[in-house]
A = this chain, B = another copy of it.
Amino acid sequence: MPSRAEEIRVAALGLFARLGYEATTMADIGAAVGIRGPSLYKHVASKQDLLAAVMTGTMRELLALHREAVATTDDPAERLRRATEAHVRYHAGHRLEAFVGNREIRSLVPSNRRRVLSLRAEYEKCFRDLVHAGITAGRFHVMSARLASYAILDLGMGVAVWFRADGELTEDIVTWQYGEMALRIVGAT
């Protein structure tokens, strides 16, 4: 059973994606989870808090999946492959989070925006560190580790835009192929 707070977060995400943050009201969110009037405020302080929770939640989940993925091997190439697979698989399965994350970053108040951008920078750095480790080990060959990490991350974001669960390319095919592409991008040997 999802908690009440989690239920509210999911409803808010759906509404932010469909109507946009500005156009969504707390009453819409309450109605979506069957809570009328001010009772919603027992569970959540504001619409802004919900948007921040959605975006920081996405980044914390990605960071946790990343750590899990790289903990399973010491090989630099396998680490990058598994981290890319985790990244791509998450985006294939969380298209609304990616859409709202891109579109509504400007709707966050400065303090919340800083938190989200700092988590994003941390996540990007995880990939850059993997690329650096492969370069140091003489396994990867790239001119800019930063650009390679941007490219790999952008592949995943792209998946969130075009992926369809009922499409010709399954989640597994996309995930495995993109893991392979990441290794090509860094010139893994």
Q: Which residues of A contact B (CB under 8 A)?
A: 20, 22-23, 102-103, 143-144, 146-148, 150-151, 153-155, 157-159, 161-162, 168-169, 173-174, 177-178, 180-181, 184-185, 187
A184-B143 Cα distance, complex, nearest whole Å: 13
Q: In the complex, how many angstroms separate the beta carbon of A42 from the nearest chain B beta carbon?
A: 32
Chain B: CB-nearest residue to A162? B150
Do B184 and A144 have beta carbons less than 8 Å apart? Answer: no
Contact of A143 among B144, B154, B155, B177 (CB under 8 A): B177
A22-B22 Cα distance, complex, nearest whole Å: 11
**Given A103-B103, A146-B168, 10 further pairs, Cβ under 8 A:** A20-B22, A22-B23, A102-B102, A143-B177, A147-B177, A154-B154, A154-B157, A155-B155, A157-B158, A185-B185
Between-chain CB contacts (< 8 Å), 24 pairs: A20-B20, A102-B102, A103-B103, A144-B173, A146-B168, A147-B169, A147-B174, A147-B177, A148-B181, A150-B162, A151-B178, A151-B181, A154-B154, A154-B155, A154-B157, A154-B159, A154-B161, A157-B158, A157-B161, A158-B158, A184-B184, A184-B185, A184-B187, A185-B185
